[in-house]
Structure formats: C-alpha cells, structure tokens
Amino acid sequence: MNCKFAFIILCVSVLFTSKAQEFSDIDKSPMDAVMARAKDNSSLMRIIYSRPYKRNRKIFGELVPYDSLWRTGANEATEIRFYRDVLVNQQKIKKGTYTLFTIPHENEWTIIINSVEKSWGLTDYNKENDVLRTKVKSLFTAAPVEQFSISIRKNNGNFNLLMGWDDRFVQLPIELTQEEKDNINQGADTEQPDEI
C-alpha cells in the first residue's frame, strides 16, 4: 500500500514539475527601446517599439504597402517620449509622450508624431491628433536589415533618428530647441525618467 501511494505521489509531482517548466515562445516581434541623452547626460528622448523580422519577405511595397499608414513596427504602435522641447526636422515639438506613425512611400516617408498614447496598432489613430507631419528621404541600406530597427546617432551636437528594415532606411533630424540648449549650458534641471 505504501509503495502504491509513494508511486502516485511521485507521478503527480513529476507531472506538476514538468508543467511548471514550460515557457512561452519568444515573441515573434520582441520589444526594444532606444534612448538619447543630451551633452549633460540628461535624458533627451526614449523610443519603445516592436521589432518584426523580414523572414524572406519583401517588406516595403508588399508587407508594408506604400502610401499607407504604418504603426512603425509591430504590435503596439511605436512610442516616442521627449524629455525636453525639440525640433523634429525643424518643427517644434513640446516635451511629452507621443505615438510615432509613418507612411512609407517609394522614395520618401511621411513621419507622423501623434498625441495619442498607448495605441495598439492603428486602432486609436486619428489624423486630428497629429502634432507633426514631415517628409524624409528613403534611402537604400548597405546590406539587408533582417529585423526592423530604430537607432539614434549623434550628428554635430544634434541627433538623427534612424529607422530601417529590409533594404530601406530613413533619417529624421532631431535637435534641442535653442531655449533647451541654453538651459543645459546653464545647468538648469529637467524632468528625468523614472523608468526606461
């Protein structure tokens, strides 16, 4: 009797242990974040986005149709947060959290910064909430980019926001407003992120 009871306990514990070790698959479009800092090391901007894979597909003009609104990644729409007032392609944007949408065209992209926060895909997009619409040239990459990527590069004290996937990329110039540059030079405090 004791052997049967011990065997049943052993089987049940093995069953529960094996179930406890099951992990979900890796997200097919994992999230990523990029951050830029001003010269005083204070936070300037943060971008949170999902990174879909190319997986032998033609991206622009097919998976992501030309001339159509795109969430700029996958899953949730891409979030961009500015910790200071900035100029995006020479247009002023006040500090705050926004959603970044794009409309890829064959030779240029329309970049859209929208005031709606935490949008799933395109469900909450409304053109009336656009804070900025600007166009940038679409360029060819030196090599295919397997996973959609966003990066920030310094450029003579300013920044270029790069977005690329497959065989195309765009650069969006971003710089601090003159007032914000003066604040940094004078050591004025600014809001710092409580989380990345």
Going residue by residue through the chain (196 aa), what tens digit of pLDDT does each one get?
566 666 666 565 665 555 555 655 566 667 889 999 987 788 899 999 999 999 999 999 999 999 999 999 988 889 999 999 999 999 999 999 999 999 999 999 999 999 988 777 778 889 999 999 999 999 999 999 999 999 999 988 899 999 999 999 999 999 988 888 888 887 765 555 544 4
Domain that holds residue 159: 28-184
Residues in contact with 27: Cβ distance below 8 Å, sequence separation at least 6, in sequence order: 50
User: Tokens 């690329």, residue?
Assistant: 164
Name the residue with tokens 């790069």.
162
User: Does residue 51 belong to any structural domain of this protein?
Assistant: yes
* pLDDT value of residue 42: 85
**Do 38 and 86 contact (CB within 8 A), yes or no?**
no
Establish if 191 belongs to a structural domain.
Answer: no
In whole angstroms, give the CA distance from residue 111 to residue 65.
15
Q: Would residue 83 count as lying in a domain?
A: yes
User: Is residue 20 in some structural domain?
Assistant: no
Of 126, 100, 110, nearest to 67 by C-alpha is 110
From CA 11, how far away is CA 8, in angstroms rounded? 5
Reference 176, options 167, 184, 186; nearest CA is 184
Q: pTM for the full model?
A: 0.80
Asked, for residue 16, whether it belongs to a domain, the answer is no
Please check whether residue 192 lies inside any domain of the structure: no
Q: Are 50 and 74 in contact (CB under 8 A)?
A: yes
N residues, the chain: 196
